[in-house]
């Protein structure tokens, strides 16, 4: 089997020639990905390209600006250097309110820290959502490059957010949780409107750009211990099901991305109709083992997981071998399993111990991968 055939086979619930092995966000076949340009990652990335099955996390360029709208509000941006990186201050004029956010980028860490959220309360959300909604358009001119690099080594996976997360993430996380619990009517109204926008844009995206499997991010915001599972049932399940149905109608597959304690919501994740879920975190970050997940839903959806990144970054070689073997033995029976880390390193340069552990993880998985 080719790498692409292997991934499609397991997603369709069939038994491939071996268990697909993924390194998640360390995407081998995309020269635009930072890990394929950063010198300290290059040796590991060559190994990943040679040995593993690739899911390229690629999105087309979009005209979307804020709250899933292509409307371009009056905004000001200011960049300031710091001793360890830089910050970006954004000011948006929405109606009679001035919304401000601060993003921090630290040298040597490939991520952005949102240190001040754009919305501080529900009035700010009202102001932002009151700006005109203009459907987004998409530019897939980069797709031929990505597809040409990928070839038959894997599949293409665009990502998008669910409606509830799209609203909650406008605020500081704790404030967002309080908002959901104390202003349910307002949150419900905003989520319905966000869902309407997402569905319009998603339809355009499906009609105009390639993609084998779509990853929907954000459901973890409605998982315990942050929120009771009743919120997942109310604000996630119906909207995710709509999104999955639309994506399936275009012949594409869906993976629900949900960190955290999923034992109380895993049946609802299955109920959305999705084809798979990730990253299937085990204790202590999650609350269910891969063995338990396999028994509960392994015959219904494909499980992507559940090698903890912290183990790959700080564990011993013996720990990595032991856990990889356990996961392969638990996940392999009956198919519907892709072994995969729960996240990916973001530090620059890449730590040598992390690289060695990734190689050990790949080699050990390959030893037990055949069906």
Domain parsing of the chain, residue ranges: 3-71+132-367, 72-118
Contact 222, 189 (CB under 8 A): no
- pLDDT at position 42 is 97
pLDDT number for residue 118: 96
d(CA 183, CA 36): 45
- % of the chain with per-residue pLDDT over 90: 98
Average pLDDT over residues 352-363: 98
Parallel, antiparallel, or unpaired for β 97-106 and 113-116?
antiparallel
Distance CA 134, CA 130 (A): 12
pLDDT at 4: 98
Tokens of 180: 């959901």
Confidence at 308, pLDDT banded by 50, 70, 90: very high
pLDDT at 218: 96
- The domain 3-71+132-367: what is its CATH number? 3.20.20.210
Q: How far apart are CA 367 and CA 365, in angstroms?
A: 5
- Report DSSP letters for 295-342, one per residue: HHHTTTSEEEEEE-HHHHHH--HHHHHHHHHHHHHHH-TTS-EEEEES
Share of the chain above pLDDT 70, in %: 100
What value does the mean pLDDT of the chain take? Answer: 96
pLDDT tens for each residue of 170-183: 999 999 999 999 99
Do residues 274 and 254 lie in contact, with contact meaning Cβ atoms separated by under 8 Å?
Answer: yes
The answer to whether 126 and 135 have CB atoms below 8 angstroms apart is no
Note the pLDDT tens digit of each residue in 28-64. Answer: 999 999 999 999 999 999 999 999 999 999 999 999 9
CA distance 42 to 31: 11
pTM recorded for the entire structure: 0.96
pLDDT level of residue 146 (50, 70, 90 thresholds): very high
Helices within 228-277 (DSSP H only) = 229-235, 237-249, 266-271
Q: Indicate the pLDDT class of residue 75, thresholds 50, 70 and 90.
A: very high
């Amino acid at each position: 089997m080719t790498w692409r055939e292997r991934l499609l086979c397991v997603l369709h619930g069939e038994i491939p020639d071996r268990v697909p092995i993924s390194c998640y966000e360390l995407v081998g076949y995309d020269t635009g990905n930072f890990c394929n340009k950063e010198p300290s990652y290059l040796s590991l990335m060559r190994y990943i390209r040679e040995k593993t099955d690739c899911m390229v996390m690629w999105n087309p360029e979009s005209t979307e600006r804020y709250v899933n709208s292509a409307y371009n509000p009056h905004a000001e941006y200011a960049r300031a250097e710091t001793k360890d990186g830089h910050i970006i201050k954004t000011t948006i004029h929405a109606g009679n309110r001035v919304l401000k956010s601060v993003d921090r980028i630290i040298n040597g860490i490939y991520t952005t820290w949102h240190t001040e959220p754009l919305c501080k309360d529900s009035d700010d959300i009202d102001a932002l959502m009151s700006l005109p909604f203009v459907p987004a358009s998409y530019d897939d001119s980069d797709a031929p490059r990505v597809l040409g690099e990928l070839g038959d080594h894997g599949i293409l996976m665009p990502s998008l957010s669910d409606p509830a997360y799209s609203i909650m993430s406008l605020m500081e996380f704790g404030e967002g949780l309080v908002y959901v619990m104390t202003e349910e009517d307002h949150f419900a109204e905003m989520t319905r409107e966000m869902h309407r926008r997402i569905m319009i844009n998603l339809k355009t995206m499906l009609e105009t750009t390639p993609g084998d499997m779509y990853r929907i991010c954000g459901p973890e915001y409605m998982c315990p211990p942050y929120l009771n599972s009743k919120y997942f049932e109310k604000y996630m399940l119906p909207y995710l099901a709509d999104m999955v149905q639309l994506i399936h109608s275009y012949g594409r597959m869906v993976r629900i991305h949900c960190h955290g304690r999923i034992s109380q919501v895993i049946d609802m994740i299955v109920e959305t109709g999705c084809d798979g879920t990730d990253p299937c975190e085990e204790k202590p970050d999650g609350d269910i083992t891969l063995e338990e997940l396999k028994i509960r839903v392994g015959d219904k959806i494909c499980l992507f997981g559940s090698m903890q990144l912290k183990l790959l970054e700080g564990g011993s070689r013996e720990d990595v071998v032991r856990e990889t073997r356990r996961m392969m033995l638990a996940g392999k029976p009956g198919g519907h399993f892709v072994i995969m880390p729960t996240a990916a390193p973001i530090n620059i340069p890449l730590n040598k111990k992390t690289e060695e552990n990734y190689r050990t993880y790949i080699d050990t998985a390959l030893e037990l991968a055949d069906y």
